[in-house]
A and B are shown apart, each in its own frame.
Chain A
Amino acid sequence: MASRTDRRAAAAARHRLLPGGRVAGPMLWIIAIMMFLTVLAAAAGLGLGAAVRSMSADLAGRASVQVVEANPQLRDQLAARALTALRGADGVQAAAPVDPALLADQVRPWLGEEATSGDLPLPALIDVTLTPGDADAKVARLRRLLGGLSPALRIEPHAAFLLPLAGLLSALGWLAAGVVLLMALATGAVVVLAARGAHDSHRGTIEVLHLMGATDVQIARLFQRRIGLDAMLGSALGFAFAAFVILLIGLRLGATGSELLGAVRLPPASWAVLGLLPVAGVLLATLAARWTVLRALGRAL
């Protein structure tokens, strides 16, 4: 069995067979850039996916009941009756009136100080949290219940408001997944071109090795090792830089204080998926190099 020194010497000898240091070529930097963009795209996809899931889970179980009544006394009475009915209804986990002051604050930017004068009839709002499961059927039941109390009571599921936004986020997530796929294809294509170039520029050495009895696999291994090392270093660099950028963006998103933007986050499982990307990149580069060189060698005698 070969000693460690022997193996190191053998590896060094193999390394010498193909000239040029690893960092000398552009391959490493191209792979670093590709990996940087791939990780960013994947992070965007995973983050948006998490946001869509969180939003869907959040919105699916919530609804607002509006009490559209101009008379303040009647509105308050109707709101109280609706609240009692809702709290006793099946499928309702919680029902709470929205503070009129909070409502007034929210409309003040559009309506000005008139919003709080009391002259403007703002509807009363009740925030309803449904029990988990089949939100549509529960909303339909509550609509019938409230309709029986008064036609001034309207129930609106939150999902209906934010459905287009969730759709947009979902589409962006799929777009990010597509970008990751395209980047993987582009990385593969770059490796194929690099391996072809390397094969062409070392044709003389390859021919000598062939005539000495080297097998195609022996020769392909030289290239796949070299390209694999380039890919490993490039992927590590690209991943490290992308991770730094993602953390920075995460901090910025957190600083906005927005609930919606705050939902765009990367849980540990998503970081694990991102961590697999450099590994996949190295594997892809190595296999692409091996396939390319073996194909090229197969055309020679």
Chain B
Amino acid sequence: MRAGLYGCLPTVPWLSLRGSRERASAIFQDMSAIVQFENVGLRYGLDSETLSDVSFTLAGGGFYFLTGASGAGKTSLLKLLYLAQRPSRGVIRLFGEDVVTLPRKRLPGFRRRIGVVFQDFRLVPHLSAYDNIALPLRVAGMEEGEVDAPVTEMLGWVGLGDRGQARPATLSGGEQQRVAIARAVIGRPEILVADEPTGNVDADMARRLMTLFEALNRLGTTIVVATHDLPLIAQVSGAQMMRLDKGRLADPTGSLRYPPRPQGGE
């Protein structure tokens, strides 16, 4: 395995070759808002609002952490972001379009631009690790002959090169999480949403995964990671942090940094 493009990592040529430079430059040229929430509220049934008056803007190509105590609404906010849920009120704009009023038939096109690492992985239980990772490519209509190379590469990258045919039930929690992450990033999404992506992996794998996210971010992908893991946040320089507290954004500007910015400095 040759020296990695991203420091300690082995090279992921597929990630670096698929028109990434052009894409990255195109996205970086337009650092305008890729995600906009305006006074968004979310209520499940007749309960009180899980999210209230959430407003923030995420710039294209940014790296964002979403923190907050359990039950603060992180997963609900992410659900709105990856279009698994419509808000009860407010406006959500993704890629410049209002997705709250978007016709249902147009949602798939938006969803293909978003990669998701679910907290509970949501691997398809009867599919092998290989087929799980290949899902987004097949959904996007990629020719079967073109699927093998990137999937094999991603499997190798997440350290599961020899477990491609294993079913999720036979994989450990950490291995399942790595498959879930590989599945989320293989389609080179414009936004990557990850809900506690390092919850079940060891420190070394957590660092490797975060490095992958950084690499994707450098290629232009906007990253949104929900986590409790403050040391993890500290690893990513330049990342911004949003904190949810009882369904409300503690810092509506979305400009908090961790560690906090020095007074008077950038």
Residues of chain A at the chain B interface (Cβ within 8 Å): 2-3, 5-7, 9-10, 13-14, 16-17, 19, 204-205, 207-216, 218, 298, 301
Beta-carbon nearest neighbor of B140 in chain A: A213
B149 to chain A, nearest CB (A): 13
Shortest Cβ distance from residue A205 to the other chain B in the assembled complex, whole angstroms: 5
Cβ B143 vs Cβ A2 within 8 A: yes
Does the CB pair A301–B116 fall under 8 Å?
no
Is there contact, CB below 8 Å, between B126 and A19? Answer: yes
CA distance A28 to B139 in the complex (A): 28
Q: Which of A10, A17, A213 contacts B108 (CB 8 A)?
A: A213
Minimum distance in angstroms from B139 CB to a CB of chain A? 5
Which residue of B83, B134, B138 has the most chain A CB atoms within 10 A of its CB atom?
B138
Are A6 and B85 within 8 A (Cβ)?
A: no
A293 to chain B, nearest CB (A): 15
Pairwise interchain contact B135-A6, C-beta atoms closer than 8 A: no
Chain B contacts of A204 at CB under 8 A?
A: 122, 124-125
Instruction: Report the bound CA distance from A16 to B104 in whole Å.
Output: 27
Please state if A6 and B145 are interface contacts (CB–CB under 8 Å): yes
A205-B124 Cα distance, complex, nearest whole Å: 6
Given contacts A16-B131, A301-B83, A301-B104, contact A212 B136 (CB under 8 A): yes
Question: Are A301 and B86 neighbours in the complex by a CB distance under 8 Å?
Answer: yes
Given known A-B contacts A9-B145, A209-B139, A16 and B107 have beta carbons under 8 A apart: no
Cβ distance A220 to chain B, nearest Cβ, rounded Å: 13
Q: Which of B111, B112, B144 has the most CB of A within 10 A?
A: B144
Q: B147 — which chain A residues lie within 8 A by C-beta?
A: 13
- Residues of A contacting B82 with CB < 8 Å? 211
Asked whether A13 lies within 8 Å of B85 as measured between CB atoms, the reply is no
Residue in contact with B111 in the complex, picked from A14, A19, A210, A298, CB distance below 8 Å: A210
Contacts of B116 in A (CB 8 A): 211
Of all chain B residues, which has the CB nearest A209?
B139
A73 CA to B127 CA in the complex, in Å? Answer: 97
- Min CB distance, B251 to chain A, in Å? 28
A14, B127: Cα distance in complex, Å: 11
- B interface vs A, CB < 8 Å? 82-86, 104-105, 107-113, 116, 122, 124-127, 131, 134-136, 138-140, 143-145, 147, 187
B167: min CB distance to chain A, Å: 10
B112 near A212: Cβ-Cβ < 8 Å: yes
Among A2, A17, A211, A218, the residue within 8 A (CB) of B127 is A17
- Would A214 and B144 count as touching, CB distance under 8 A? no
A3 CA / B135 CA spacing, docked (Å): 20
B-chain residues with CB within 8 Å of residue A215 when the two chains form the complex: 105, 108
- CB < 8 Å neighbour of B139 from A16, A212, A298: A212
Contact A213 B143, CB 8 Å, known A13-B138, A208-B135, A301-B84: no
Q: What are 29 A-B interface contacts by the 8 Å CB criterion?
A: A2-B143, A2-B144, A6-B144, A6-B145, A9-B145, A10-B138, A10-B143, A10-B144, A13-B138, A13-B144, A16-B126, A17-B124, A17-B127, A204-B122, A204-B124, A207-B122, A208-B122, A208-B124, A208-B135, A209-B135, A210-B111, A211-B116, A212-B111, A213-B108, A213-B110, A213-B112, A301-B84, A301-B85, A301-B104
Nearest-CB residue, chain B, relative to A7: B144
Contact A6:B143 (CB < 8 A) given known A13-B134, A211-B116: yes
Tell me the minimal C-beta distance from B94 to chain A in angstroms. Answer: 13
In the A-B complex, list the 3 residue pairs whose CB atoms are closest, starting with the nearest: A213-B112, A19-B126, A213-B111
Closest residue of B by beta carbon distance from A12: B144
Contact A214 B124 (CB under 8 A): no
Given contacts A211-B116, A212-B112, contact A218 B134 (CB under 8 A): no
A205 cross-chain contacts in B, Cβ below 8 A: 124, 126
CB distance from A137 to the nearest CB of B (A): 67
The docked-state distance in angstroms from the alpha carbon of A301 to that of B109 is: 14
A209 to B83, CA, bound (A): 13
- How distant is A280 from chain B, measured CB to nearest CB, in Å? 31
Complex alpha-carbon distance, A206 and B30, angstroms: 35
Task: Give the residues in chain B near A214, CB-CB below 8 Å.
Answer: 108, 139
A213-B136, A213-B139, A214-B139 given. 9 additional CB < 8 A pairs?
A204-B122, A211-B82, A211-B83, A212-B139, A213-B109, A215-B105, A218-B139, A298-B104, A301-B86
Give bound CA distance, A9 to B138, whole Å: 11
Q: Chain A contacts of B138 at CB under 8 A?
A: 10, 13-14
- Which residues on B sit within 8 Å (CB–CB) of A2? 143-145
The CA of A213 and the CA of B144, in the complex, are separated in Å by 18
